[in-house]
Amino acid sequence: MDYAEVLKTYRKKPLADLDALAERISYDRQSIKKIIPHREPFLLIDHLIGLDLQQGIIIGSRRISEDDPVFQGHFPDFPIYPGTLQLEMIGQAGLCLYYFMSKQQPHIEEQAKPIPVRATKVLGAYFLEPVLPGKEVLLVVKKLEQEAYLGTVVGQVISGQKVCSVSINEVCFLE
């Protein structure tokens, strides 16, 4: 797969239209904690709101709080949400997608357990617009490839109607 071409394609246009997705879902942070290992202050998804298992797409959201301590140093006179944390948001949404795809259903089981994974690579990224404090962002993630031990997703952070960042991330499944 030509990752550079995938990144170039999704620099401007959204990966998916929320209204066209097969399934509207509504999961909050408590539910998300059942399926990914991240916890505060590093749980970077507030809600899961859309899912299409056929296309391998998930949509989540996060409100970027003005009180986030990261803005004290990045950058005090012009606060911008760090690109590395945008990559992490996309990765966390990708883990949620892999959970639903492994179950082939849009439900989080009562006894769900997080998928054990480790990030292995960022295969490419563009940071196109600043993500500012006080904004709600959408996280749109699509599965590109999945093998026995590796999974690759392309994802976007969207604020308003603008793609702020797009990246391709790879993880290794530990089980």
Q: Which residues are catalytic?
A: 74
CA distance 40 to 5: 35
Phi/psi for 127 (5° steps) reads -115, 110
What count of other Cβ atoms lies within 10 Å of the Cβ of residue 82?
16
Report in angstroms the alpha-carbon separations of 109 from 32, 39, 91, 105: 11, 19, 21, 10
